[in-house]
Structure formats: structure tokens, C-alpha cells
Amino acid sequence: MVFPEIATILSGIAGFVMFFNRNPKRNPPKLNDIVVSPADGKLCKPFKVSSISKLFGATSNSIKKLDKDGPHMVIPINLSLMDVHVTRSPCRAKVIDVIHQKGRFLPAICKSALEKNQRNIIVMKSKGVYFAVVQSTGALARRVRCWVAPGESVATGQTIGRILLGSNTSLIIPVKHFRYSEPYHKRVRAGETIIGVIKKG
């Protein structure tokens, strides 16, 4: 016999798991050259970096190709526990590389968390421009999942991965090939909110 209190607790846990793992349908804008948010959450203030390889301590060929078009704009998106945690492709692109790096579990709201926390760096290419979507863990988020592999082509808004619990997703794109269009602190929806325009390389 299951006591009512235990049944209520188990039901609540099951309900939260279902809520957290939801993957609602999204309707990407049918416009050329647009870049949509790769995650649900709140846009943080963008900042520039001169070297992706130095930022992440990565030296793969795909990261070197990213660096050739530097400097880059980093657009962080903070996800709360209540946000959908599915990661989506910001535009029609080809997956070039997926790099998993071990790291710490600092609060995702900290800028230093981007370079110190465990992450997936998904390097992509669109219209001759290399860019990256970075899935970072947080103080609670301990796992990041990537659902695509190098060589795959993805559509705008297509699901490419998931992060568990509160975390951060960042778009890193060359400044000279991107026009940012949204005020920071705005809440965005993955696959739907336009955050800029990509300019051909």
C-alpha cells in the first residue's frame, strides 16, 4: 500500500519531469538570412572575443576556422528552471564539428561560466560563415546533450540538443558577418525569436 503523501510526492516529481522535458512545436520564420534564438530564456548583454581557441582552450581545425573570421560576438541566453531546455539551430546550416569539454559547474549567470563550465561546442556553417552554438552547464545542470553529428544538415529551428536544469546557451558568430537586432534582457523563444541577420561570407 502506498501512503497518500508518498503518492502525492511521486506524482509531483513525475509531473515536473514531464514539464521539464517538454518539447513544444515551434514555427520558425520563413525569411532568408535571419538568425533565431537557439534557446528559450533571457538574452544577456552580448560581448566580443578576439579568439575562440583562447576562450575555450580548443585547438581543433573547426575552431581555427572560426577564429579566421574573428572577432566574434558572444550572445549568451540564460535559461531558468521553468524554460524549455531544448536547443535549436539558429539558421539553416551544416554541422561541422561537435566538441565536448569537461569543466566546472559554476552558476550559469556568471560570464566566467562560459569558459570554465562543462560544455558542448557545436560548430556550424551557413552561407560560408562559421559560427557556434555552445551548450553550457550550470550549478544545477550537470549534463548537456547534442543530438546532431558532423556532416548533418539542419533547418532553422530544428532541435539539435538539450540541457538538463538551469543553464546557458550561447551563440558565437563573427561580428563582420552578423547584424544583431534585439535589446538584451529580452525574453526569447528558441526557433522563433529573430535576434539578427547573417551576412554572407
Per residue in 94-137, pLDDT tens? 999 999 998 887 776 666 677 788 899 999 999 999 999 999 88
Residue with cell 558568430: 173
> Is residue 57 situated within a structural domain?
yes
> Is residue 12 situated within a structural domain?
no
> Is residue 21 situated within a structural domain?
no
Range of weakest confidence among 2-6, 51-55, 87-91: 2-6
pLDDT over 60 at 13, yes or no: no
Q: Which of 15, 48, 41 is nearest to 185 (CA)?
A: 41
Distance linking the first and last C-alpha atoms of the chain: 66
User: Residue 52: in which H helix or E strand, if any?
Assistant: helix 52-56
Task: Return the pLDDT at 182.
Answer: 84
Task: Enter the pTM of the model.
Answer: 0.87
Number of structural domains found in the chain: 1
Q: Which of 146, 172, 21, 28 is nearest to 87 (CA)?
A: 146
- Rounded to the nearest integer, the mean pLDDT of the chain is 86
Catalytic residue among 89, 126, 167, 170: 167
> Is residue 9 situated within a structural domain?
no
pLDDT band at 8 (very low <50, low <70, confident <90, very high): low
- Whichever domain contains 172, its CATH number is 2.70.70.10
- Number of Cβ within 10 Å of residue 92's Cβ equals 19
Host domain of residue 123:
27-198
Give me Rg for the CA atoms of the chain. 17
Q: Alpha carbon of 126 to those of 51, 174, 175, 176: distances in Å?
A: 20, 12, 15, 14
Yes or no: say if 43 and 186 are a contact pair by the CB < 8 Å rule: yes
Q: Please indicate whether residue 167 is annotated as part of the active site.
A: yes
> Is residue 10 situated within a structural domain?
no
Contact partners, residue 109, CB within 8 Å, separation at least 6: 44, 78, 168
- pLDDT tens across 142-182, in order? 678 899 999 999 999 999 999 876 688 999 999 999 999 98
> Is residue 181 situated within a structural domain?
yes
Task: Return the pLDDT at 163.
Answer: 84
